Structure formats: structure tokens, C-alpha cells
A and B are shown apart, each in its own frame.
Chain A
Amino acid sequence: MDWRRKLNNVTHREPLNLLWLQSGGCGGCTLSLLNADCSNLFDTLAGFGIRLLWHPSLSEGSATEARSIIDDCMSGATPLDILCLEGAVLRGPHGSGGFHRTTGGDSMMSIIRRLAGIARHTVAVGSCAAFGGVTAAGCNPSDACGLQFEGDSPGGLLGWDHRDSSGLPVVNIAGCPTHPNWVIETLAALASGGLNGQCLDIFQRPRMYADHLVHHGCTRNEFYEFKASAHRPSDLGCLMENLGCKGTQAHADCNIRLWNGEGSCVRGGYACIACTEPGFEEPGHLFAETPKLGGIPIGLPIDMPKAWFVVLASLSKSATPKRVKENAVADHQVVVPAVKRMRPK
């Protein structure tokens, strides 16, 4: 095939129709998506051949116009290539879905179920759509669940055996909220046909970002190494030992690719609450306090045997430089790194 025909194949591919719906959530994943550092998000999506059929916050069509777009997807008049759901599925009260009805009287639950049965791909955007998330916290008043999970149990609205026509389960872009690039890259991978089952982890999260830990790239790493820990918000030290940080257990690349320019939760001075993990909304302890047993944090870094951690922690604590020890419990550097008159070797 010469390059002209190749190019033709790329540029003349049918666009993929994307329908974005919202239910039991806060809309924060959409607002986060709009933070994408690209020149124009809509052009970026179009560049991957994605045509936005309708989005509740962004499209022109309202009321009857919106309903006819959704109806055309249901009838098959418009092929539905990608269905994105933001927010949990609200099953209550009593399984009726009545906590979220849309105009015409149908529950969003039933609309989501029907569309997911048709869509070529179904994407859960955010931890609510994936697992239930914060909407399912506490007594779960709205009986919220995710598309294919309820917390960490498979099932959810669609059932564990649901597969789309390409054989994929629901793609769970977990996070509360999602990083804009997690969404853009997942959609781009779907559009290019480059996302298969191997690309998802056991919670169906794209491994592109879920194969990292929040700990990777953490700027508090020197404090972590020496177990020089913060005691109160605004301290510079490691947040793991006392302030509830789960960065060494949570799957995401938040400190590799940053948020809003140069931010992340731990850079903002507060704990990673593991918002990409199912069930993060009910940690069983105070979010900003590390649960411990005999003075040792219960939640150890992933892949680290407890005995090693205990030995390393006590060794590194005994070897903590004065600078690291003092800065850990201050809100600015009280001891700066020494400057020597010889070049680093």
C-alpha cells in the first residue's frame, strides 16, 4: 500500500460517535476534562476521529433535541460507538431507579442499561461510574453502584459477564475526579483500536495509568526514605506514617503527570486517599489519619513484606539527617541542603 492510500485510510475512517451521560455524580470528571492542557479539547477528540454526539454540559441540544439524539442511539438509527457514563447508577428507591428520572419518566438506570447493551464500547468515567464511589458511601442512600462493579465486587448494573461487541468489559477510568489525560488517552486508544483486554487491570482500569503508584514521583520521597513524617497539615514531611497517605498503595500516575500544571494531592499537602481504588470512599478509618497496629501502619507499601518495612523503617529513622528530621515537621525549610565548595562527585 503506498502512502497515499494509507493516508486515505486514516483520514477517511468513519468518525466514532460518542455519547456522554451523567447520573449519580458531581460532574467533576467533565470539569476536570476541561482542564486538559491542549489547545482545544474538542479538536483533540476530533483528531482521534471522535464525534461528540451529545454531552450534557457542552452540547447545544436541549430537551427534545437531546432526547431525539439519545432515542436515535437506542433505535440504532445512529451507531453508538462509545458510551461514556459519568456518575454512579442510582438503583433506588427499591430498585426502581427513581432517584434519577429523566424527562419522559424513564429512570436513568434503564436508559444506561439499554444503551450499554448497544454501544460498541462502554466507558465508566470516574470512580462513581466504575465502582459506585462517593455516591455509594455511608448508608448508600440512593443504592448507587458502578456499571460493572459494586465497590470491589464484580457485578454492578450490567453484571460481571457483560462484554461489548468487541469483547471488552466496561473500561473503568477510575479516579475522583479523573485526570483529563486518562480520559483523552483511553478514548484515543479505543478509537484507534489499540485497547484490548490485556490493557486493563483486574478492576478494568487502563493500565496506561494504573500500572503506576501515586508514590512514583512524589516530591516528599526523601522524607519517605527516612520515615521523617508530617504531624499536621502544612508540614513538609511524609504523609504516610501519620496523615493517612495511601500513595504507596494507590494505582495512578498522579505524581508523574501532574494536575492543573504542577499539582497533585500530596503536593497540595494532603494525603492520597486512593480515589482510583474501589471502595476508597469507606476506608474504615479517618481519611487523614493512618490506621496503625502496634505503632506500625496497617497499610504497607504495595509489594513490601511487613518485616522488611519494619526493619527498614527503624534503620532509616535512626539514620535521618537533621535537615530532613526538622523540615518534616515545619511548613517551610528550616534547614536547607548544605552547599559545599566542591563539585558533586
Chain B
Amino acid sequence: MPIQVLMPALSPTMEKGNLAKWLKKEGEQIKSGDVIAEIETDKATMEVEATDEGTLGKILIPEGTTDVAVNTPIATILADGESAADLAKAPAPAKPAAEAPPAAAKAEAPQPKSAAPQAVAEPDPEVPAGTEMVTQTIREALRDAMAEEMRRDADVFVMGEEVAEYQGAYKVTQGLLQEFGARRVIDTPITEHGFAGIGVGAAMAGLKPIVEFMTFNFAMQAMDQIINSAAKTLYMSGGQMGCSIVFRGPNGAAARVAAQHSQDYSSWYSHIPGLKVVAPYSAADAKGLLKAAIRDPNPVIFLENEVLYGHTGEVPKLDDYVIPIGKARIVRSGSHVTIISWSNGMTYALKAADELAKDGIEAEVIDLRTLRPMDTETIVNSVKKTGRAVTVEEGWAQSGVGAEIAARIMEHAFDYLDAPVTRVSGKDVPMPYAANLEKLALPSAAEVVEAAKAVCYR
């Protein structure tokens, strides 16, 4: 029976890709190991190698097709003795990816198919009415933010592992080397502690580094330089010497990479005076806040999320779209319960709000966007209106950001509460690898719905 070649998953979070080019024609002989096609993912262009021998029977997905779901059959290979007539025996192609076994596990992972927040109830105060919007991925928005700031200020440069020639491990720095050259887009050795320290030293000398960590899991190696050198020097020098630097990269759980590569560091950094901590969810916020972070004279921890990189959203087409650090945003208005989250936690929060609306519960959803300084006012004003609050985070509950929010609500709006503040968080275990366990370890929209109903006594 003819063999199907399926669209491969080339990274833990890949859901779809573009079939850029076929390198073999129908009827051509194929040996195991031959490169038969090129596939573009949002991260890179990869070659597809044949694992079977035979003749390329039929190309099912022509080159140039975009957004081909993982596990979609893209071609059939005929074994020796088979002919085109046998093609009919092949299973029906174009099976949706989400139903195929490996991708099914991913579909269960917390990845909204929809673009970044569509359900914006409140107009964005930073954007003038009538502004033209462009649809961008969060990855592109981040790249544009860096490029714009690098054009604006010659002291801004990017350093990190694979940021230049590889074009970014997650393709966030794509094209920067070509535009700005190797002097300002600098590949480092794998040496987080050392290059974080060099970045901080360069910032102390007045430059404005953007230090990319391939993921924040690896920034643990650099923790001393971030906390002891970057965050504290302004104070220890009596205001004389500061450090304008951005540490950025993906934070939190990706998909199926287990405990050492799946951790949310939101609460770690938000603990430290001297640091600012930003964690955007939408593409527009990713751009506007990264530009603000680069201009900020203080050290800023900019927490991105790998799962969100490929998600698209509307970004205002403005010459200089900068969002002030430290302001939360009410993404959806409601009067029954306040749901507070940030970064990928917003995925669960918004989905839950949709579900709750079906049951007549109108949730007000706040995207914190910045964790330090925290916009207590927006939270408290909302809770005064709703009397109930649920926090949603991927990190652990103990000493988490949700715990901090709950404390602030208690301090500032105790008399307005009609129910205890409830936390939805990552489970108190290291992240497991198995797909079902990973799903259980992360928060879910269902848990948010349950918590919201509980505080509404429903």
C-alpha cells in the first residue's frame, strides 16, 4: 500500500507550517534520507527528509500552500512494484490535524486557535480613534519594537544565544542582523551568567542592551547579575549609577518540554525592588510595552510566552506606539466577578469569560500587563464594582502573583468583598512530560469557570 508522508511537527509548539518547496517531482525515485521538501515554520525553514524508499507517487499539497496543519498528508510514496493506480488505496488525505494522535495532545495544550484578544470591550486609551490596524504575530510585533528602537537610538543593541545568524531561536530577532549588522546584533556563547553580566556592565557604562534569554529557565544561571548587579546598583550608588537594560525571552510552560523547561518566573522577578516586570498577552501590548521597556532607564524583565509567539492580533499602525509600563487593561467589562491574569493566563481567563456569559455571569477580565509596578488601582476599582475576584496564573500558588493580588484586594477592598478571593494556578508539582499530566498541571478555562462560579455562589 502506498505510504503517506505527513506534515511533520518540527518544534514542540508547532501547529502548522507552509509548504515552501518540493525538491522532488512526482515519479522521481526517493531513497531514505533524501530531502524531498522544504517547510517554513514560524521559527525557521526546515528540510523534510524521506524515511521510506520508493517513487514519489502524488504530491497532495502543492508548494506554496500556507498553514498546513501538522500531520496532514502531503504526499504519497509508492513502494517497489506499486503504480499510480495503487494511489487510490491510500487513506483519504486532508485529515484535520487536530484529530491525528500526536497533534491531538497539542490541541489539548493551552493554545487558543483564535487570535489575541478579540473580545475587547474597552477601547484602548493609547490608540487614537480611527487608527489603522495591522494584523501581526506577537513574534513580529516584538521584532518590530526592537527594530524601531534600534533605529531610534544607536546605544540599543541585542545580545544572546542565536539572536543573529540563526535569526533567533524562536525567530523573534529575525532580520535584525541584516538591518543592523553584527556590531549591534550579537551572538553569544552559551554562557548566561557571563553575558548577563557583560550586558549589565555595558548598561552601567551607558549603553542600552536587550539581553535575550533563549528561555527564562536559563536565566536562573544569570540570576545573581540580574538581582544583585542590575536591580540594586541604583540604590546602592545613591542614585548615581543605574542600569537601563531589558532582559527578555519566553517564560512559562511551552508544550511537552517537562519541568526544567516549563516554569513561570513571574513571581520570582516581581519580588524584587529595582526591577520592572512586564508580561504582555496581546500583540499590540507586546510591541508597545517592549518599546517602553527599551526606553526605560531601569532594568526591565520582559516575560514573553512561547505558546503565544505565533498568535496574531491587531497592532496600531502608528509611528511610535509606546504603552506606559505599570498600567493594567480591562479587556472585557463585566459586573459579576473580576478575573485577573496576564500573559498566557489570559487565554484561560478570556475563554472562561465566554463560558460564564453563557450562564449569565458577566466577568470583568483584567490583563495586568505589568507585574511590577502592579496597577493596584485598576484591580481594586473593579473589585469594588464586582465584589468578587479570581486570579489566574500558570505559576505555582505559594508566594505567587495571585497571592500578592489577593493580599492587595484584602488591604484595599476588604469591605467590598462578597466572597474570598480565589486563585487558579499551576499545580504544586514540577511540570510533567506526559501530555495528560501536563494538561492537569496547568490551569484550565474550566477551572477558572469553576472558581468564578464558586465566588458567585453559583
Genuine A/B complex: no
